[in-house]
């Protein structure tokens, strides 16, 4: 019987993020293409002899109790199986993904713990059940269980697996400030236009909407060129006015050769898609050198799309 597992919890970007409405309970309805990237936290899940959950985190400012989604993931599985009084697990999180960045850092840690505890204790839950349980923890957790290239609808729980995103280089820059996803969605209600609103602000919002169906067709065709004009993120209409440096980073990426650059999730992380590996390397070095010179605390990575069955490649950070 396995006593310990070491897992990778992959981050994500949003190739397209649209908000189509709001449910009566306040949850926003989304339609988005989510893409795993090869930047990950390392999660070690180990059986322990005494009952209970112990969590360690490499970042001291992050909680190690029920306030942490990874802790609650283990707790949920023990409750579902009636093992909360008898089973014990130790979880160690080595954080490499940026925090409060729009890359699902907390959700992917929780998903890894769901997978690891389920396997370690032979609970027998399949991926579909783990996704259902993950939804109780957060809207991004089911995708983080599935990983890869996925269409997410509803509040994020209706998932459709898509073909792998075509190979490319992805430059990721997370500026040194956090953004609250909850606050962004709350503020979104004030800028979403009503039907019949043709004001300049309303038209700007509509223009920011991604072409989700176009993205799906491009992914199915294996066409990076077809994917680029379909990308978009309506949450930029909230986050960018509050943090103009996000737009500045995207503009700089494109000036350095990115075929498309935009914000991921609720921000503040910006990513750029590069068909040219040389241009991506040059942009990576430029951002790194300027960050070191200005000591701005930005987190900078050069990575690729993650597909579960493809071999790993180097991540630059």
Name the nearest CA neighbour of 113 among 121, 160, 63. 121
pLDDT tens digits, 269-313? 999 999 999 999 999 999 999 999 999 999 999 999 998 876 554
Q: Residue 248 is encoded by which pair of tokens?
A: 């500045």
Provide the token pair at 204.
């700007």
Task: Indicate the CATH number for domain 4-161.
Answer: 3.30.230.10
Exactly one of 140, 174, 252, 259 is catalytic; which is it?
140
283 is in an annotated binding site: no
Q: Is 140 a catalytic residue?
A: yes
Q: Which helix (H) or strand (E) holds 249?
A: helix 245-255
Could you tell me the residue ranges of all domains in the chain?
4-161, 169-303
Burial of 312 (0-12, 13-18, 19+ CB in 10 A): exposed
Q: Scan for tokens 């040059």, then name that residue.
A: 282
- Homologous superfamily (CATH) for 169-303: GHMP kinase, C-terminal domain (3.30.70.890)
User: Is 308 a known ligand-binding residue?
Assistant: no
List of residues 6+ apart from 73 with CB closer than 8 A: 110, 111, 113, 114, 117, 134, 137, 141
Question: How far apart (Å, rounded) are the C-alpha atoms in residues 160 and 27?
Answer: 20
- Check whether 104 is labelled as a binding-site residue: yes
**Quick one: pLDDT at residue 274?**
98
- Report pLDDT digits (tens) over 232-257: 999 999 999 999 999 999 999 999 99
Report pLDDT digits (tens) over 90-124: 999 999 999 989 999 999 999 999 999 999 999 99
100 is in an annotated binding site: yes
Q: For residue 109, what are its two tokens?
A: 């840690």
The string of pLDDT tens digits covering residues 13-39 is 999 999 999 888 888 999 999 999 999
Instruction: For residue 3, count CB atoms less than 10 angstroms from its CB and return exposed for 0-12, middle for 13-18, buried for 19 or more.
Output: exposed
Q: Is 83 annotated as a binding residue?
A: no
Q: Which residues pair with 44 in a beta bridge?
A: 6, 92
116 is in an annotated binding site: no
| SS3 of residue 67 by DSSP | coil
* Alpha-carbon dihedral angle through residues 239, 240, 241, 245, given to the nearest 10 degrees: 130
Annotated binding residue 98: yes
Write down the catalytic residue from 12, 18, 41, 174.
Answer: 12
Q: Is 34 annotated as a binding residue?
A: no
The model's pTM is: 0.93
Nearest alpha carbon to residue 19 among 141, 189, 161: 189
> 110, 99, 106, 145: which is closest to 125 by C-alpha?
145
Q: What is the mean pLDDT of the chain?
A: 94
DSSP code of residue 165: P
What is the C-alpha separation between 161 and 36, in angstroms, rounded?
Answer: 12
């Amino acid at each position: 019987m396995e006593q310990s597992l070491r897992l990778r919890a992959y981050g994500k970007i949003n190739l397209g993020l649209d908000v189509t409405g709001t449910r009566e309970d306040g949850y926003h309805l989304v339609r988005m293409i989510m893409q795993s990237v090869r930047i990950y936290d390392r999660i070690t899940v180990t059986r322990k002899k005494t009952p209970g959950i112990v969590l360690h985190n490499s970042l001291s400012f992050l909680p190690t109790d029920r306030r942490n989604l990874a802790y609650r993931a283990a707790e949920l599985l023990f409750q579902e199986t009636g093992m909360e009084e008898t089973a014990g697990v130790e979880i160690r999180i080595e954080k490499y993904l940026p925090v409060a960045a729009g890359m699902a850092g907390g959700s992917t840690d929780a998903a890894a713990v769901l997978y690891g505890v389920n396997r370690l204790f032979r609970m027998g839950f399949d991926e579909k059940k783990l996704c259902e349980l993950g939804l109780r923890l957060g809207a991004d957790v089911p995708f983080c269980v599935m990983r890869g290239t996925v269409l997410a609808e509803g509040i994020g729980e209706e998932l459709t697996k898509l073909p792998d995103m075509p190979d490319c280089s992805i430059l990721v820059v997370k500026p040194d400030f956090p953004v609250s996803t909850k606050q962004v969605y709350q503020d979104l209600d004030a800028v979403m236009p009503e039907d019949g609103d043709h004001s300049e602000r309303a038209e700007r919002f509509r223009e920011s909407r991604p072409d989700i169906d176009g993205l799906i067709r491009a992914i199915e065709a294996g066409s990076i060129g077809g994917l680029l004009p379909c990308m978009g993120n309506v949450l930029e209409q909230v986050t960018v006015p509050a943090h103009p440096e996000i737009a500045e980073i995207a503009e700089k990426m494109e000036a350095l050769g990115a075929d498309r650059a935009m914000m991921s999730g609720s921000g503040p992380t910006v990513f750029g898609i590069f068909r040219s590996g040389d241009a991506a390397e040059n942009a990576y070095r430029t951002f790194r050198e300027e960050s070191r010179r200005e000591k701005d605390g930005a987190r900078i990575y050069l990575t690729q799309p993650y597909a579960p069955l493809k071999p790993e490649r180097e991540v630059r950070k």
